Structure 1
Amino acid sequence: MTTFKLFATVSCIALSTASAAYAQELRIGLQSDADVLDPDQSRTFVGEIVFTSLCDKLVDITPDLELIPQLATEWSWSEAGDALTFKLREGVTFHDGTVFDAEAVAYNIERSQTLDESRRKSDLASVSGTEVLGPYEIRINLSQPDAGILAEMANRPGMMISPTAAKAEGADFGLAPVCSGPFQFADRVAQDRITLKAFPEYWNASEIHLDSVVFLPIPDTTVRLANLQSGDIQLVERLAATDLTQVEGDSSLIVEKATSLGYQGITFNIDNGAGGDNPWGNDKRLRQALSYAIDREVLNQVVFDGAFTPASQPPAPGSPWFVADYPVEARDVEKAKSLLEEAGYPDGITLEVQVPNTNEPMQLLQVIQAMASEAGIDVQISAKEFATLLQDQTAGTFTASQVGWSGYVDPSANLHQFVTTDGNINDAHYSNSEVDRLLNAARSTTETDERKSLYAQARTILADEAPLLYLYHPTWLWAMRSELTGFVPYPDGRIRLEGVRLEQ
């Protein structure tokens, strides 16, 4: 009898300890693996999910898209709109003990502008320099007014990294990133996991209730959901829309939703290296033909069970920046055939499209493949791991690429860097001086009506030249175990872990 009691007691202690350990580690299933963990070099959306736990920004947003303080406590504009002054949070340290202050902000902005590998250069193109006004006050000077620069500070350009670590590691900083967020880097196994552990000196540590968070790339949506159902992971980002009904009927799971700020589309190689010298990059009529061959509403119904929104431009209908003159066009197979004939391809043409090797993008391209074939376009699908796809896209070794953008609050960040000459994410290498003029002018005014007019004029040109075809606006769908509490959905799709708990 005594032996039984002792066994039972030890068992209970073991179970209690295991339960506590389980409750402290959050395991998140990602659609793909992140690219380099350096805010200046990265470009993947899943990378931004990891950064949200790793790297605080100067500014954050609310679920209603209001800009709010994070590492900056307040800000003010100069009367001319050509300078932005931040007062900074005191008592903040980076994960390596380096003090966060105005000098650190000045270093971060300079690095974003000058690091050879930086993709933030076009984001900060209007910044002419910084002035440290005090230990915790800094002025960002602009070469001209830039309405979007504050919103940029709520994204990767505003993520602060340790100057000490960045100076020591240079372009290799992303191998062991050092920031000032609620969690610090522990380890990474490519295509397997990224592990972060709670940073005890975090300035807002009272809102963090987890000891660690593990990000697990699981490209297959069926496998991702199975892992959630079994309890091996507790949260899934980008639940497949076709699984929504099933998950909503499972009492052990919870679904959260938010309308995305971004889009998914097809980018063409217009002039990116030797790969840009192809019929699709050289003749806009072919790109227009593919667009007419696609029924975006059918795509939404067949692939996403009607959960998403067909797209014709970066902002979705209902956004104050949506250009009403360019609604989603109806499918017109005869028009597509006519354009092919005009371009000199009356018997049809082949198009190779690279696509992420995950379920929904593959299904999307298979439906597009069937639609395009009716117009005489033979779509060849080249499935790739997402980081590889982006590498090939950057290098110009592609003809067309199915890729999207998670979306930022300000419209400039959703368009400018993709289509202006030398834009840092302009993988098409599309260039049009009038588009450059219009989009640069839209950045330099804070008048909403004027900005809308400039974006509409740019959209007229871009709709005709079609370097990028917009397909749909996603709805963010998160699925989680019922024991996960405190999760708040945001339209930017990032996962914020303040207030999140795993209940026993």
Structure 2
Amino acid sequence: MTYFSRLLGAVSVAALSLSALPALASGTLVIASTQVPRHFNGAVQSGIATGLPSAQIFASPLRYDEDWTPQPYLAKSWEESADGLSLTLHLVDNATFHDGVPITSEDVAFSIMTIKENHPFKSMFAPVEAVETPDPLTAVIKLSQPHPALLLALSPALCPIIPKHVYGDGQDIKTHPANIKPVGSGPFMLDSYAQGDSIVLKKNPNFFLDGRPKLDEVIVRIIKDPSALLIAMENGDADMYPFMGGSQEIKRLEKADHIGIERDGGAAIGPINWLAFNTASPKLSDKRVRQAIAYAVDRNFIIKALHRGVSKPARGPIVEQSPFFNPDINPYDVDLDKAKALLAEAGYPDGMELTVDYIPGFKEQQQSVAEYLRSQLKKIGIAVTVRAAPDFPTWAGRVANHDFELTMDAVFNWGDPVIGVHRTYVSSNIRKGVIWSNTQSYANPRVDELLAQAAVERDFDKRKALYAEFQQIVVDDAPIYFLNQMPQMTAYDKKLVHVPDGIWGPLAPMDQLDWSE
């Protein structure tokens, strides 16, 4: 029995002003956030700004615990066909949308096909050919090939079930008015949204899981001033700060007696901070040059000094918390003599000049590292010019159009490698003009072959072996030098219980979150 078959079998059986707001009820949670969502429909929009409210407003077929084990949600059970070409979902019979309309298999089929056509993660449902609906509580997902990432793709961060009777009216799904006034089936309903200020979510009194949600209200206060956000947490005006990534804020809130820090939740998101090489550049086409740079960079200095110890090392394209991580890959421990020798072998005994870009707005993870590279690579004869971008679109335009030599970047794993990893390394995804595709112009036929095999392999151990070889090759070819996993911690009032600690962290439904008595 494969790893995923065992999982199937196991569960198939089974900054608005604080003073401007009214007094809060005891069952209210206040989340402080710097993220401003464009809308709330996670079926057509990726990212944590949309993902956090979307997971509260919409339910999904499955949910996941901290052990990477799928759990029932809208689907009470499921089974995979022997050939791996279909997955049958058996829905709960008591779920309704917030407007009272029952959820049926038609909504599941509509949602999955909508996500397939509109979500930026094209590989997520690429093998899905159709979703059959033999009865109102049965949805059968038909596949063109086995898809071992399918179960994870059905979880809250990636597969909100949206109402067909609302979204199936012929309007453009990406600009549909319901995106900003959503009708979902999750534990909370949108009460109000003051764009750029606050999101108010009220308890869904007809939620299909008995006794949930525990809270009466969730308010997301968007506080753009980092200092004001930290003060709100320290003063108790905010109860939770998810996706906390800066060392200063982490160190500061650690000192508050009433605040706890959840460090491990959200392993599936897997954000990696890295240095990318344009392998199409004549200066960087020889992997020995790229390896030389990797040996020159002191990852430990970046983590300990620049990030004050709050980051974790990243040695390869798959984060260490993933069941597919290969611990035997080359870590590129700093070795300046080896770096100089590799440069000389590649024809650059006197060094070279390079330009490095970085994502603006994330100084600690991006700009500070780029500036460190300028001083560190000078030690092996590489003169680095740091090129700033005035805003994110400018940086993204340069990188997407391959107008760079080196660039700092940050890319997420999104759970299964099929969803968030393949896109960076398969040669078929070298798509000029598309950010977070294979912007490195990296092409290795063996990598293409391994990833194609891993995308359909249903045996966990065999799949893990394919990814192990893939990681070895990519780290050796060095189209990217992997620096660190970006921290994404959750600060929370210690009186809260059941703070999200599963693989999706705060991108999971908060229906069990509550205040201790």
Q: Report the TM-score, using the length of structure 1 for normalisation.
A: 0.82
* Counterpart position of 1:238: 243
**Cα contact 1:267–1:401 (8 A) shared by 2:** yes
Offset from partner CA, 1:8-36 (integer Å, 9 cap, x none): xxxxxxxxx965x2534433223543455
403, 413, 437: which one pairs with 2:410? 403
> 1:212 Cα deviation (Å)?
3.4
Quote the offset at 1:162 in angstroms: 1.9
Q: Structure 2 unaligned segments of length 5 or more: list them.
A: 1-20
For 1:27-38, what aligned pairs fall within 5 Å after superposition? 27-34=30-37, 37-38=40-41
Residue 26 of structure 2 aligns to a residue whose secondary structure is helix
Check 1:186–1:49 CA distance in 2 against 1; reply closer, same or farther (3 A cut). same
Per-residue CA deviations over 1:38-66 (Å, capped at 9, x if unaligned) read: 32432323432232212221110112221
Q: Is the 8 A contact 1:75 1:85 kept in 2?
A: yes
Structure 2 counterpart of 1:4: none
Paired with 2:446 and 2:120, the residues of 1 have a C-alpha distance of 23
- The answer to whether the 8 A contact 1:285-1:343 is kept is no
- The 1-side partners of 2:282 and 2:22 are apart by 60
Any idea what the Cα deviations from partners look like across 1:184-204, whole Å, max 9, x if unmatched? 334545554444333333223
Kindly indicate whether the alpha-carbon contact (under 8 Å) linking 2:200 and 2:220 is maintained by their aligned counterparts in 1. Answer: yes
Question: Aligned partners of 1:247 and 1:53: how far apart in 2?
Answer: 26
- Give the 5 Å matches for 1:194-205: 194-204=199-209
Question: In 2, Cα distance between the equivalents of 1:83 and 1:119?
Answer: 23
Aligned residues: 480
* Distance of 2:349 and 2:162 partners within structure 1: 52
Matches within 5 A, 1:18-167: 19=23, 21-34=24-37, 37-115=40-118, 118-167=119-168
Say if 2:64 and 2:504, in contact at 8 Å, map to a contact too: no
Q: Structure 1 CA distance, aligned partners of 2:409 and 2:331? A: 18
Relative to total residues, which structure has the larger helix share, 1 or 2?
1
Contact 1:144/1:444 (CA < 8 Å) preserved in 2?
yes
Question: What is the one-letter code of the residue matched to 1:214?
Answer: I
Counterparts of 1:229-268 in structure 2, within 5 Å, are 229-239=234-244, 240-244=246-250, 246-258=252-264, 260-261=267-268, 262-266=270-274, 268=276
> Is 2:123–2:419's contact at 8 Å kept on the other side of the alignment?
no
The secondary structure found in structure 1 opposite 2:88 is: strand
Query: Displacement, 1:365?
Result: 4.0
Code of the residue aligned with 2:356 in structure 1: it is E
DSSP-derived class of the 2:123 partner = coil
CA change 1:258–1:391 in 2 (3 A) is farther
Structure 1 regions of 5+ residues with no counterpart?
Answer: 1-16, 272-276
Residue 254 of structure 1 and its aligned partner are, at CA, apart by 2.1
Counterparts of 2:28 and 2:286 in 1: how far apart (Å)? 52
Structure 1 residue aligned with 2:217 = 212
Report the secondary structure of 1:80's partner residue: coil
Aligned equivalents of 1:159, 1:348: Cα separation in 2: 49
1:49 maps to a residue whose letter is L
SS of 2:470's partner is: helix
**Residues 34 and 44 of structure 1 are in contact (CA less than 8 Å); yes or no, is this contact kept in structure 2?**
no
Q: Give 1:13's aligned residue.
A: none
Q: Are the counterparts in 1 of residues 373 and 384 from structure 2 also a CA contact under 8 Å?
A: no
Aligned pair partner of 2:352 in 333, 348, 351: 348
Q: Deviations over 1:329-354 (max 9, x none)?
A: 11233444555563669453232322
CA distance in 1, matches of 2:209, 2:349: 61
**1:431 Cα deviation from its structure 2 partner:** 4.7
Call closer, same or farther: CA 1:39–1:317 in 2, change over 3 Å: closer
Q: 2: CA distance between counterparts of 1:100 and 1:281?
A: 53
Q: Which amino acid aligns with 1:445?
A: E
CA separation in 2, counterparts of 1:130 and 1:93? 20
Contact 1:263 1:471 in 2 (8 A): no
1:383-394 aligned at under 5 Å gives the runs none
Shift of the 25–317 alpha-carbon distance from structure 1 to 2, 3 Å rule, reads closer
Q: Which moved more, 1:242-251 or 1:432-441?
A: 242-251
The answer to whether residue 185 in structure 2 is matched with residue 180 in structure 1 is yes
Give me the TM-score of the superposition, normalised by structure 2.
Answer: 0.80
2:190, 2:323 → 1: CA distance? 38
Q: Does the CA-based 8 Å contact 1:198-1:210 persist in structure 2?
A: yes
Which residue is equivalent to 1:454?
A: 466
Instruction: State the 1:403 CA deviation.
Output: 0.9
Counterparts of 1:283-362 in structure 2, within 5 Å, are: 284=287, 286-317=289-320, 319-337=322-340, 342=346, 346-358=350-362, 360-361=364-365, 362=367
Partners of 2:349 and 2:312 in 1: CA distance: 32
Counterpart among 412, 418, 424 of residue 418 in structure 2: 412
Q: In structure 1, how many angstroms separate the alpha carbons of the residues matched to 2:513 and 2:243?
A: 18
Report the alpha carbon displacement of residue 124 of structure 1 after superposing the two structures with TM.
Answer: 1.2
Structure 1 vs Structure 2 CA RMSD:
3.5
What's 1:9 paired with?
Answer: none
Aligned to 2:18: none
One-letter code of the match for 1:83? S
The question of 1:489 aligning with 2:490 is answered no
CA apart distance, 1:172: 0.8
Tell me the CA shift for residue 471 of structure 1: 1.5
Contact kept, 8 Å, 1:293 with 1:333, in 2: the verdict is yes
Tell me how far 1:150 sits from its aligned partner: 1.2
Alpha-carbon contact 1:309-1:472 (below 8 Å) kept: yes
CA contact (8 A) 1:75 1:86 kept: yes
SS at match of 1:374: helix
Measure the CA separation in 1 of the matches of 2:423 and 2:337: 34
Deviations 1:239-275 (A, max 9, x none): 444554543442222222216341412364759xxxx
Look up the SS of the partner of 2:54 in the other structure. Answer: helix
Report the secondary structure of 1:53's partner residue.
helix
C-alpha change, 1:449 and 1:64, in structure 2 (3 Å) is closer
Report SS of the residue matched to 1:114: helix
Deviates more, 1:144-153 or 1:377-386: 377-386
User: For the Cα contact (< 8 Å) 1:314–1:414, is it kept in 2?
Assistant: no
For residues 269 and 332 of structure 1, do their structure 2 counterparts lie closer, same or farther at Cα, with a shift above 3 Å needed?
closer
Worse-matched range after superposition: 277-286 or 38-47: 277-286
Q: 1:382: how far off? A: 3.2
Conserved 8 A contact 1:120-1:157: no
What is the aligned partner in structure 1 of residue 437 from structure 2? 426
- Secondary structure at the counterpart of residue 448 of structure 2: helix
